[in-house]
Structure 1
């Protein structure tokens, strides 16, 4: 699939088949996240693969947005290993983890795997439920699974602003 086709085809999947994600698909998705660019090549992101019932039950207790996905990726970053931008107001953690999530979503689409970026959760509760190290910050959870036959994008999926509304040349 051409890149722009992947971008156009990708949508937030909210209904999945009841079957596991093939390991070869998961490996490629994780590799896409590993190859994502990071600020000064810090690679401070970490991905937790949650696919066993005990972990998925924890996810369901923490967020209503798993939508029956058979697998969830939890993406964090190491707060102690980020690039501090000049001025001291921002660091690269959320940005770099978000780029990795985006790469994984697009690779999932390329492979026919549906995804939904989940940010409806309390990061501190997720961190506690999974006993994550103190230095890690949870950024996103990414539902993954094969879309159900009747899965569809949201009604607003194809309604995009004009480029002239989003871009200003200075």
Structure 2
């Protein structure tokens, strides 16, 4: 599959099979994140992979009771360093590398941005000088949602100036 097809095939998955992701696939996802670019190549990030069922259940509460969060095989927390100006951009790029590699591996993901950061930090023992940028659910999809509508190029871009 080419990268454009991978991008077109990506969906937010909220229904997962109860099977666990094989370790070699999980490691490939994390390797995709490791290879992501970052400002000045600092790679100033940390990924916490949550597989413990009790912790996943607690994360459901921290994620505004989004029940599907707890059904994923794994939850990956993307942690940035507040002392680095571009930590959120760097982490978003690395997490999207995971998302796209997941499509290639037949896995599903969903970005989670609605969460109580203080609670996530407490549950995962994240220091206060770090930032939970986003969480990703990862698992074996048990749904095949259709593509959602997208705006046309003309609606979202212009040349040389804002129009």
Under a length normalisation based on structure 1, what TM-score does the superposition of the two structures give?
Answer: 0.88
Equivalent residue, structure 1, for 2:78 = 75
The CA RMSD measured in Å over matched residues stands at 1.3
8 A Cα contact 1:12 1:116, kept in partner: yes
| Partner of residue 109, structure 1 | 103
Specify the alignment match of 1:160 in structure 2. Answer: 150
Q: Which 10-residue stretch deviates more, 98-107 or 61-70? A: 61-70
Measured after TM superposition, the shift of residue 66 of structure 1 is 5.3
Matches within 5 A, 1:90-169: 91-148=85-142, 151-153=143-145, 157-169=147-159
Pick the structure with more helix per residue: 2
Q: Secondary structure at the match of 1:153?
A: coil
* Matches for 1:51-66 after TM superposition, within 5 Å: 51-63=51-63, 64-65=65-66
Q: For residue 87 of structure 1, what is the aligned residue in structure 2?
A: none
Counterpart contact for 2:81–2:87, Cα < 8 Å: yes
**How do 1:14-25 and structure 2 match up within 5 A?**
14-25=14-25
Aligned mates of 2:23, 2:123 — CA distance in 1: 26
Aligned length: 157
Runs of 4+ in 1 over 6 A off after TM superposition: none
Unmatched segments (≥5 aa) in structure 1: 83-90
